[in-house]
């Protein structure tokens, strides 16, 4: 049975896609939960409009992410943490602390799950952190860790 997805379904497709699924899956799951509609002639035109809207929204989100990436990479972010005499931190700097520092110093809200710290930050100094802003847009942020 051919159906048009009304929302993104993991493992099946995105909103507006025309997909072929088994009759039972369509009747018992997709249609009752409002995740899909039958693919009639008029509905196929509606699906094309949904795909166009999705593509426009995705393009705008990508352009916004590129603008944010250029702003993030321009200036380092400072984080202070308790450290010993040798410059080793008591604990480590986490992605939550980096996200709070980015928001406070640049005004850009970044989700802590989008920050990728390759190795734990446990020393004073400058470290590089990767921030994923969109599925194919990333930015490298310099984090200056200072002893407090």
Q: State pTM to two decimals.
A: 0.68
CA–CA gap between residue 55 and residue 64 (Å, rounded): 14
CA–CA gap between residue 98 and residue 79 (Å, rounded): 7
Percent of the chain with pLDDT over 70: 100
Question: For the packed helices 41-72 and 95-106, what is the interaxial angle rounded to 10 degrees?
Answer: 80
* Contacts for 104 with CB less than 8 Å, ≥ 6 apart: none
Tens of pLDDT, residues 132-141: 999 888 999 9
**Model pLDDT, residue 23:** 93
Q: Please say if the pLDDT value at position 59 is more than 90.
A: yes
CA–CA gap between residue 134 and residue 21 (Å, rounded): 30
pLDDT band at 33 (very low <50, low <70, confident <90, very high): very high
Residues of the chain with CATH 3.10.430.100: 73-147
Mean pLDDT of the region 15-37: 91
**Model pLDDT, residue 14:** 87
**In CATH terms, is domain 73-147 a member of 3.30.70.100?**
no
Q: Please say if the pLDDT value at position 39 is more than 90.
A: no
CA dihedral of 86, 89, 95, 100, whole degrees rounded to 10:
-100
The kind and range of the H/E element at 88 are strand 88-93
**Model pLDDT, residue 49:** 82
**In CATH terms, is domain 2-69 a member of 3.40.5.10?**
yes
Residues of the chain with CATH 3.40.5.10: 2-69
∠ Cα 72 74 77 (to 5°): 65
**Model pLDDT, residue 17:** 86
Tens of pLDDT, residues 74-102: 889 999 999 988 889 999 999 999 999 99
């Amino acid at each position: 049975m051919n159906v048009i997805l009304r929302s993104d379904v993991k493992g099946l497709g995105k909103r507006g896609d025309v997909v072929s699924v088994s009759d039972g899956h369509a009747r018992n799951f997709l249609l009752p939960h409002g995740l899909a509609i039958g693919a009639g002639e008029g509905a196929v035109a509606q699906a094309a409009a949904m795909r166009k809207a999705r593509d426009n929204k995705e393009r705008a989100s990508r352009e916004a992410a590129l603008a944010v990436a250029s702003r993030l990479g321009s200036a380092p972010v400072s984080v202070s943490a308790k450290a010993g005499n040798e410059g080793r931190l008591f604990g480590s700097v986490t992605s939550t602390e980096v996200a709070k520092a980015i928001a406070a110093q640049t005004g850009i809200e970044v989700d802590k799950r989008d920050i990728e710290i390759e190795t734990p930050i446990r020393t004073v100094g400058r470290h590089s952190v990767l921030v994923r802003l969109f599925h194919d847009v990333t930015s490298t942020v310099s984090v200056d860790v200072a002893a407090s």
